[in-house]
């Protein structure tokens, strides 16, 4: 923490304020800005507890703009907690497809089942009870409690930690749980009880659209600039402090698009992953360890008794998980037959691939290629129909 006696004259009127009083002093400016500038979001305009819960889980690790369409689709399919509790897992994962971190979706269903059994299908207006539900931590419990029920409970996420780190010129590592707990305790004492929902959302909003990460704070439009110690000192780019993450482990994979023509329409091979570990229970295109050459792939296919008429190298792709990075080499294979070893393979029509089977976004580039096949087939079918 930079000593108060190092502060510029702009701070001398309030340089001795405690953190709590600092928050109280800035709150009117923060709330006024939020009321004028807040984004219109589908879950924000009708903040029923279920909508707040679903949106907050979706927003973890995902941008707001990307979440909007997922949220609307999810709510259309599962309009209430009872529907979520009863949904089949494959349907749930299909609705979640592309958001990643699929255990979040599974925890939603587990929590919904508990809510139906213990609370009559309505989320409890109680922070402790919310935190006891699967997949709900302190931040999500605080968001639901404050936004949906108006309770004065802090909701401290990365955005809030970044904003306060800059406001206070605080050089503590915001990745530490002790720093998060300290911040939650401070906000619990200082946040306005009568405007808890707006306060929490305003803090998140400032971090999302103004006090941006990666050294890009837009101080010229920030309503908190007059209260910001790092702004006065010219040290905004030094905050927040966060320990450098370990480098992700690189894994090389070879992806096989095994395609065959049936009597109805073109089909592609899928297989279901194990029910534990990375991408548990999801469907994937058959793939192999390592980055294999065309010759290596041909040898593998022959060894497995897979008869093919076409083997083509296609585009490479990359996907980043939290701790792993996949570097993928792709091959398109037109096949005619299979050996007994291929019993785990499931062939689905391309339309089914898009509409029924949850395939994680790690394979997005290859799924896109198959979707182009489907669109081409529809075009050719339409052209043939028009010629008759």
Residues with a known catalytic role: 56
The two most distant CA atoms of the chain are separated, in Å, by 86
Dihedral, 9, 240, 140, 277 alpha carbons, nearest 10: 180
**Rounded to 5 degrees, what are φ and ψ at 158?**
-60, -35
Contact between 243 and 55 (Cβ < 8 Å): no
In 197-227, which positions are buried (b, 16+ CB within 10 angstroms) versus exposed (e)? bbbbbbbbbbbbbbbeeeeebeeeebbbbeb
Contact between 229 and 9 (Cβ < 8 Å): no
- What is the end-to-end Cα distance of the chain in Å, rounded? 78
Cα–Cα distance for residue pair 112/82, rounded to 1 Å? 7
Contact between 144 and 49 (Cβ < 8 Å): yes
| Cα dist from 226 to 4, 26, 33, 265, 374, whole Å | 16, 9, 13, 65, 57
Q: Is 271 helix (H, G, I), strand (E, B) or coil?
A: strand
Written as one string, the DSSP assignment of 125-175 is: S-HHHHHTSTT--HHHHHHIIIIIH--------HHHHHHHHHHTT--SBTT
Contact between 159 and 203 (Cβ < 8 Å): yes
The alpha-carbon radius of gyration of the chain (Å, integer) is: 26
In 311-332, which positions are buried (b, 16+ CB within 10 angstroms) versus exposed (e)? beeeeebebebeeeebebbbbb
Cα–Cα distance for residue pair 186/289, rounded to 1 Å? 49
Cα–Cα distance for residue pair 27/247, rounded to 1 Å? 39
């Amino acid at each position: 923490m930079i000593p108060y006696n190092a502060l510029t004259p702009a701070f001398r009127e309030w340089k001795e304020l405690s953190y709590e009083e600092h928050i109280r002093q800035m709150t009117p400016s923060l709330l006024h800005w939020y009321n004028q500038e807040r984004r219109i979001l589908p879950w924000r305009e009708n903040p029923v507890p279920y909508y707040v819960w679903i949106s907050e889980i979706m927003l973890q690790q995902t941008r707001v703009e990307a979440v909007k369409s997922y949220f609307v689709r999810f709510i259309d399919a599962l309009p209430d907690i009872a529907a979520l509790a009863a949904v089949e897992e494959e349907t749930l994962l299909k609705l979640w497809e592309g958001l990643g971190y699929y255990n979040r979706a599974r925890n939603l269903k587990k929590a919904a089942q508990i809510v139906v059994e213990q609370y009559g299908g309505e989320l409890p207006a109680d922070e402790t009870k919310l935190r006891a539900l699967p997949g709900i931590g302190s931040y999500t419990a605080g968001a639901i409690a404050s936004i949906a029920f108006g309770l004065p409970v802090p909701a401290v996420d990365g955005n809030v930690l970044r904003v306060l780190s800059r406001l206070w010129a605080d050089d503590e590592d915001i990745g530490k749980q002790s720093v998060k707990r300290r911040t939650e305790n401070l906000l619990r004492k200082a946040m306005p009880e009568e405007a808890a929902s707006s306060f929490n959302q305003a803090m998140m909003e400032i971090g999302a659209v103004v006090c941006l990460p990666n050294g890009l704070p837009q101080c010229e439009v920030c309503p908190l600039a007059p209260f910001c110690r790092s702004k006065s000192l010219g040290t905004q780019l030094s905050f927040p402090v966060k320990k450098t993450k370990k480098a992700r482990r690189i894994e090389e994979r070879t992806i096989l698009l095994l395609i065959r023509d049936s009597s109805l329409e073109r089909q592609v091979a899928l297989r279901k992953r194990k029910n534990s570990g990375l991408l548990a229970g999801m469907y994937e295109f058959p793939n192999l360890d390592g980055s294999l050459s065309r010759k290596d792939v041909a040898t593998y296919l022959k060894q497995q008794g897979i008869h093919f008429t076409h083997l083509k190298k296609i585009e490479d792709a990359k996907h980043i998980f939290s701790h792993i990075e996949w570097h993928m080499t792709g091959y398109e294979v037109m096949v005619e037959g299979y050996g007994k070893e291929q019993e785990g393979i499931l062939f689905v029509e391309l339309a089914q691939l898009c509409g029924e089977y949850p395939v994680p976004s790690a394979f997005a580039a290859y799924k896109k290629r198959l979707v182009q096949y489907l669109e081409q087939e529809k075009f050719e079918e339409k052209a043939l129909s028009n010629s008759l």
